[in-house]
C-alpha cells in the first residue's frame, strides 16, 4: 500500500470516526431528552389522574370538575378531555381555555375510578364480612349523596377516613347545608342477598367477591368511572436542543482538525528529514543519518534508513581497505619481479636456476592471491560451484593431515589427529572445498606454532553436528583481535611480514565455504596457550543425491 493511500485511509478513518462520534453523541442527547420527556409525561399524567380521582372521591360527583380540568391543563400543558359512559363529555381544556377544539391524539384513554375499595380488619372471617357489607353499601350511598348535595350548593366538603375504607363527608362551609341530609342510609334486602351470595370460605376469595358486589351495588349513587383523554394530534412535543448539538459538532470538528495537524506533524516532518538525508546519501555523504524514535512505521523506516546508510558506509570503507590491501599485497612482489627482470634484461644479473626458482615462487604466490580473491568473490556472489556428495569426515581429516604433514615436519611442528578411529562419520558436501577450508585452518595453525609445538585435528559427532577442531599451541590471539579474524587481508602481524606467511584471505574463504555448507566456524583463543578453530557442520539425516550444485543447493549448468 502506498504512503499516499495510507494517509488517505487514515484521514478517512478519522472522518468516519468523527461522523460516528457526532451521530453517537447526538443520539445520546436525543435519547436523554426523549427519556426526560417521557418521565415528565408520566409525572404529568400521574398528577392529572390523581387530582381527578381526588376530586371525584372528595365531592361524590363530577359536577364542578371543569375548573380543576382547566387548572391542570394550564399547569401541565396537556390538552385534557374527560367523559363518563352515562353523561358523555364533561369538560375539554381547549374549550375552557378559549381555543377551538383540536382532534385528539391516538394515545389510549385513561380510566379514573374515584370510588373507594372495601376493606376489613385482618382477623375477620368470611361470614362476618358478608354480614357487614350490606350496611357499608347503605352508609356509603348516603354519604356520597350528601357530599354531592354539598357540592351542588357550593359548600366546601371535608373528607375523613371512616371504617372499612369508606370516606366520611362533612360540611366544611360556613352556611347551613340546607336540604342536604347526612344519614347512615337504609340497608336494602337486595344488598343483603348480593353479599350473601359470596359463599367462598377463604378470606381472599370472599373479600374479592364482596368488593365486586360493593362496586356493582354503588354504581348508581357514586361518581362514575371517568374516561380521560390527553393530548392532541398537533402537539409539537419536545424538540432537540440546538445548543448542545452545535457544541458537539464544534467539538468533533476541533478534534478532526487537531488530528489532521498532529498527522501532518508526525508524518511530514520525518518524511522531510528522510528526503534530505537520502538526497545527501545520493550525493555521496554516507555519514548522513536521521533521528528515529518511537515504535511506529515512520520510526522503523528511519531506523532502516540508518541501517542502510551504515551498511553502505561500512561497505565503502571495506572496499577502500580491500583496494588498499590488494595494492599493498601486489605492489612489493611486482616491484621485485620488475627489478629482477630489468636486471636480467640489462645483463646485471645472470639467469641462473636459483634466481629463476625464486622468481617462479613469487609468481606462484601472486597467482595464489588472485585465485583466492576470485574464489572469495564467487563465494560471496553465490556463484561458487560445489560438487556435493556423501563423504566420510574421518577420511577428510586424514587427507588434510597427510597433505600438511611434510610442511609441519619442516616447521618442527607435530601434526596429530584425535577422534578419527574406525567407522564412518557421515557428511554431505564438496570434499575438495571442505579440504580447502580445513587446509586453510591447518596451514594457519602450523604457521603460527613455534618449533616443538603441536597442531591437533579433533573429530567429534554429537547433537546431529559434526565438529572438526584445529587446535595449536601457538602464541594465541588477543581478545581485541578476535572480531577481525575473518576480515579479508587482516593479519595480527602489523608489519605484514612474510615470516607470518599468508595472504590474509584464508580464514575468509574457509568461513564462506563452511557457511555455504550450512555450517559455522567457531574460534577460542588464549594468549600464551594457543587457539582452537572449530568447523561445525550438520550431519545428514538421510540419503542425499550428488551432483554439481552451488552453495544455495542449485544444480549448476
Write out pLDDT tens, residues 308-330: 888 888 777 767 776 776 776 67
pLDDT of residue 368: 72
According to DSSP, residue 115 is labeled -
**Cα 201–Cα 207–Cα 211 angle in degrees, nearest 5:** 140
User: How many beta carbons lie within 10 A of that of residue 201, not counting itself?
Assistant: 9
**Torsion angle, alpha carbons of 289, 294, 298, 300, to 10:** 70
Average pLDDT over residues 153-173: 84
Of 207, 222, 237, which closes a domain? Answer: 222
d(C-alpha 396, C-alpha 438), whole Å: 9
Cβ–Cβ < 8 Å for 407, 446 = yes
Of 408, 410, 400, 406, give the one whose Cα is nearest residue 472.
408
Task: Indicate if the pLDDT at residue 241 is higher than 60.
Answer: no
User: How many beta carbons lie within 10 A of that of residue 172, not counting itself?
Assistant: 11
Residue 542 lies in a domain: yes
Residues in the chain, total: 557
Residue 293 lies in a domain: no
pLDDT of residue 527: 92
Question: 408: pLDDT confidence band, cut at 50, 70 and 90?
Answer: very high
pLDDT of residue 235: 61
Strand 385-392 relative to strand 414-418, pairing: unpaired
pLDDT of residue 452: 93
Strand 454-462 relative to strand 426-429, pairing: unpaired
pLDDT of residue 346: 86
- Residue 539 φ then ψ, to 5°: -80, 135
d(C-alpha 457, C-alpha 469), whole Å: 6
Of 195, 222, 249, which closes a domain? Answer: 222
Q: Tell me the percentage of the chain whose pLDDT exceeds 90.
A: 16
Task: Indicate if the pLDDT at residue 59 is higher than 60.
Answer: yes
Task: Please tell me whether residue 502 adopts helix, strand or coil conformation.
Answer: coil
Q: Tell me the percentage of the chain whose pLDDT exceeds 70.
A: 82
Task: Indicate if the pLDDT at residue 231 is higher than 50.
Answer: yes
pLDDT of residue 449: 93
* Cell representation of residue 109: 384513554
Residue 410 lies in a domain: yes
Question: 496: pLDDT confidence band, cut at 50, 70 and 90?
Answer: very low
Residue 151 lies in a domain: yes
Task: Indicate if the pLDDT at residue 3 is higher than 70.
Answer: no
**Torsion angle, alpha carbons of 190, 195, 196, 197, to 10:** 90
Residue 407 lies in a domain: yes
Cβ–Cβ < 8 Å for 72, 48 = yes
Average pLDDT over residues 112-135: 88
pLDDT of residue 85: 85
pLDDT of residue 498: 45
Average pLDDT over residues 99-106: 83
d(C-alpha 78, C-alpha 82), whole Å: 13
Of 166, 197, 222, which closes a domain? Answer: 222
Output 405 or 174, whichever has higher pLDDT: 405
**Cα 439–Cα 441–Cα 442 angle in degrees, nearest 5:** 65
Strands of the sheet containing 426-429, edge to edge, are: 426-429, 385-392, 547-550
Residue 438 lies in a domain: yes
Output 4 or 169, whichever has higher pLDDT: 169
pLDDT of residue 549: 39
d(C-alpha 334, C-alpha 343), whole Å: 14
Task: Indicate if the pLDDT at residue 556 is higher than 50.
Answer: no
Task: Please tell me whether residue 151 adopts helix, strand or coil conformation.
Answer: helix
pLDDT of residue 550: 45
Average pLDDT over residues 95-102: 87
Chain centre to alpha carbon of residue 147? 75
d(C-alpha 339, C-alpha 345), whole Å: 10
Question: 521: pLDDT confidence band, cut at 50, 70 and 90?
Answer: very high
Residue 509 belongs to domain with CATH number: 3.30.565.10
Residue 13 lies in a domain: no
pLDDT of residue 451: 94
Residues linked to residue 467 through DSSP beta bridges, in sequence order: 460, 536
Question: Which of 180-189, 443-452, 467-476, 545-554 is predicted with the least confidence, judged by mean pLDDT?
Answer: 545-554
The per-residue pLDDT for range 262-287, each reduced to its tens digit, is 666 666 777 778 788 888 878 878 78
pLDDT of residue 473: 93
Task: Indicate if the pLDDT at residue 53 is higher than 50.
Answer: yes
Rounded to two decimals, the pTM is 0.44
| Domain enclosing residue 409, as ranges | 385-550
Average pLDDT over residues 448-472: 92
Task: Indicate if the pLDDT at residue 469 is higher than 90.
Answer: yes
pLDDT of residue 266: 62
Task: Indicate if the pLDDT at residue 245 is higher than 90.
Answer: no
Which residue do the cell numbers 555455504 mark? 516
pLDDT of residue 123: 84
Average pLDDT over residues 431-441: 90
- Residue 132 φ then ψ, to 5°: -85, -25
Question: 290: pLDDT confidence band, cut at 50, 70 and 90?
Answer: confident
Cβ–Cβ < 8 Å for 518, 553 = no
pLDDT of residue 260: 66
Cβ–Cβ < 8 Å for 68, 52 = yes
Cβ–Cβ < 8 Å for 140, 125 = no
Alpha-helix residue ranges (DSSP H) falling in 218-296: 242-263, 269-282
DSSP string, 6-18: HHHHHHHHHHHHH
Say which residues have a Cβ less than 8 Å from residue 142's Cβ, sequence separation at least 6.
Answer: 182, 183, 184, 185
Average pLDDT over residues 464-474: 93
Which residue do the cell numbers 350528601 mark? 146
Average pLDDT over residues 39-67: 86
Task: Indicate if the pLDDT at residue 499 is higher than 70.
Answer: no
Output 81 or 421, whichever has higher pLDDT: 81
Average pLDDT over residues 90-109: 85
d(C-alpha 78, C-alpha 75), whole Å: 8
Number of H helices, E strands in the chain: 13, 14
Average pLDDT over residues 156-173: 85
Residue 445 lies in a domain: yes
User: How many beta carbons lie within 10 A of that of residue 221, not counting itself?
Assistant: 18
d(C-alpha 407, C-alpha 469), whole Å: 19
Cβ–Cβ < 8 Å for 108, 255 = no
Question: 557: pLDDT confidence band, cut at 50, 70 and 90?
Answer: very low
* Cell representation of residue 390: 556423501
Average pLDDT over residues 488-496: 59
Question: 519: pLDDT confidence band, cut at 50, 70 and 90?
Answer: very high
**Structurally, how many domains does the chain consist of?**
2
* Cell representation of residue 363: 609468481
pLDDT of residue 509: 85
What does each C-alpha distance from 170 to 65, 75, 157, 162, 402 come to in angstroms?
19, 29, 6, 12, 139
Of 449, 465, 459, give the one whose Cα is nearest residue 531.
449
Average pLDDT over residues 215-225: 85
What does each C-alpha distance from 85 to 56, 65, 149, 223 come to in angstroms?
15, 16, 22, 11
Average pLDDT over residues 50-67: 87
Task: Indicate if the pLDDT at residue 465 is higher than 50.
Answer: yes
Average pLDDT over residues 65-73: 89
Q: What average pLDDT is seen over the chain?
A: 80
Amino acid at each position: 500500500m502506498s504512503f499516499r493511500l495510507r494517509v488517505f485511509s487514515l484521514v478517512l478513518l478519522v472522518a468516519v470516526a468523527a461522523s460516528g462520534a457526532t451521530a453517537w453523541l447526538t443520539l445520546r442527547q436525543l435519547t436523554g431528552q426523549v427519556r426526560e420527556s417521557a418521565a415528565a409525561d408520566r409525572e404529568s399524567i400521574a398528577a392529572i389522574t390523581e387530582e381527578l380521582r381526588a376530586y371525584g372521591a372528595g365531592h361524590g360527583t363530577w359536577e364542578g370538575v371543569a375548573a380543576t380540568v382547566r387548572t391542570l391543563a394550564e399547569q401541565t400543558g396537556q390538552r385534557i378531555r374527560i367523559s363518563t359512559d352515562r353523561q358523555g363529555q364533561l369538560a375539554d381544556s381547549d374549550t375552557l381555555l378559549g381555543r377551538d377544539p383540536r382532534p385528539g391524539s391516538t394515545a389510549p384513554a385513561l380510566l379514573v375510578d374515584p370510588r373507594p375499595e372495601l376493606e376489613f380488619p385482618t382477623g375477620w372471617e368470611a361470614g362476618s364480612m358478608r354480614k357487614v357489607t350490606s350496611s357499608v353499601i347503605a352508609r356509603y350511598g348516603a354519604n356520597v349523596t350528601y357530599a354531592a348535595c354539598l357540592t351542588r350548593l357550593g359548600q366546601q366538603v371535608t373528607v375523613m377516613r371512616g371504617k372499612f375504607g369508606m370516606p366520611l363527608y362533612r360540611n366544611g362551609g360556613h352556611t347551613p347545608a340546607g336540604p342536604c341530609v347526612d344519614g347512615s342510609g337504609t340497608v336494602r334486602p337486595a344488598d343483603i342477598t348480593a353479599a350473601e351470595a359470596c359463599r367462598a370460605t377463604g378470606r381472599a376469595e370472599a373479600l374479592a367477591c364482596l368488593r365486586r358486589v360493593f362496586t356493582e351495588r354503588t354504581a348508581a349513587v357514586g361518581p362514575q368511572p371517568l374516561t380521560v383523554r390527553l393530548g392532541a394530534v398537533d402537539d409539537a412535543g419536545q424538540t432537540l436542543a440546538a445548543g448542545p448539538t452545535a457544541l458537539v459538532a464544534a467539538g468533533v470538528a476541533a478534534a478532526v482538525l487537531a488530528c489532521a495537524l498532529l498527522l501532518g506533524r508526525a508524518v511530514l516532518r520525518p518524511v522531510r528529514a528522510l528526503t534530505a538525508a537520502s538526497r545527501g546519501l545520493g550525493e555521496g555523504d554516507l555519514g548522513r543519518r536521521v533521528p528515529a524514535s518511537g515504535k511506529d512505521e515512520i520510526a522503523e523506516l528511519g531506523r532502516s534508513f540508518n541501517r542502510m546508510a551504515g551498511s553502505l558506509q561500512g561497505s565503502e570503507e571495506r572496499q577502500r581497505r580491500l583496494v588498499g590491501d590488494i595494492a599493498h599485497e601486489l605492489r612489493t612482489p611486482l616491484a621485485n619481479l620488475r627489478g629482477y627482470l630489468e636486471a636480467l634484461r640489462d645483463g646485471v644479473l645472470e639467469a641462473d636456476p636459483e634466481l629463476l626458482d625464486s622468481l617462479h615462487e613469487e609468481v606462484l604466490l601472486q597467482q595464489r592471491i588472485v585465485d583466492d580473491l576470485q574464489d572469495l568473490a564467487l563465494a560471496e556472489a553465490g556463484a561458487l560451484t560445489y560438487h556435493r556428495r556423501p563423504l566420510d569426515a574421518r577420511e577428510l581429516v586424514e587427507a588434510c593431515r597427510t597433505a600438511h604433514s611434510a610442511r609441519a615436519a619442516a616447521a618442527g611442528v607435530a601434526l596429530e589427529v584425535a577422534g578419527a578411529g574406525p567407522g564412518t562419520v557421515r557428511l554431505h558436501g564438496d570434499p575438495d572445498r571442505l579440504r580447502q577450508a580445513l587446509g586453510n585452518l591447518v596451514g594457519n595453525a602450523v604457521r603460527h606454532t613455534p618449533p616443538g609445538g603441536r597442531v591437533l585435528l579433533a573429530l567429534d559427532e554429537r547433537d546431529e553436528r559434526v565438529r572438526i577442531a584445529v587446535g595449536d599451541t601457538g602464541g594465541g590471539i588477543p581478545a581485541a583481535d578476535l572480531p577481525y579474524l575473518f576480515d579479508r587481508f587482516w593479519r595480527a602481524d602489523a608489519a605484514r611480514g612474510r615470516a607470518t606467511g599468508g595472504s590474509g584471505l584464508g580464514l575468509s574463504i574457509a568461513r564462506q565455504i563452511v557457511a555455504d555448507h550450512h555450517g559455522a566456524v567457531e574460534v577460542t583463543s588464549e594468549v600464551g596457550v594457543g587457539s582452537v578453530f572449530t568447523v561445525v557442520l550438520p550431519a545428514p539425516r538421510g540419503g542425499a543425491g550428488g551432483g554439481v550444485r552451488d552453495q544455495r543447493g542449485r544444480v549448476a549448468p
